[in-house]
């Protein structure tokens, strides 16, 4: 199992970045809310980032952050750019 996180724009979220996770190398990125076993309750801060509390929790547990600039969207799925 891999433990990767990434901040990606989510449809219907006005272009704001939302934390996405994946646990398998070939798995599409999914919003953190799709992983209730890892998600932490969001902070109740107006305009706060969705997933920030989960990011802090998982970062402390050794999850790695992938840069969104290394990713692109293909057919609605996020995949890694070829080098």
- What is the residue range of 42's domain? 4-80
Among the residues of 1-83, which ranges form H helices?
A: 52-60
Listed in sequence order, the residues at least 6 apart from 14 whose beta carbon sits closer than 8 Å to its beta carbon are none
Query: Which H or E run contains 5?
Result: strand 4-9
Number of domains in the chain: 1
pLDDT in tens, 18-66: 999 999 999 999 999 999 999 999 999 998 899 999 999 999 999 999 9
Residue 64 CB neighbours (<10 A): 11
| Pair 54, 45: CB distance under 8 Å | no
Listed in sequence order, the residues at least 6 apart from 2 whose beta carbon sits closer than 8 Å to its beta carbon are 22, 23, 24, 25
User: What is the pTM (predicted TM-score) of this model?
Assistant: 0.78
Per-residue pLDDT band for 12 (boundaries 50, 70, 90) equals low
């Amino acid at each position: 199992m891999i433990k990767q996180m990434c901040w990606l724009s989510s449809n219907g979220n006005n272009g704001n970045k939302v934390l996405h996770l994946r646990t398998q190398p070939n798995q599409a990125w999914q919003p953190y809310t799709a992983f209730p076993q890892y998600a932490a309750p969001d902070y109740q801060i107006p305009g706060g980032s969705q997933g920030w509390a989960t990011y802090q929790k998982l970062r402390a547990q050794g999850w790695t952050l992938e840069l969104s600039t290394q990713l692109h969207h293909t057919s609605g799925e996020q995949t890694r750019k070829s080098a």
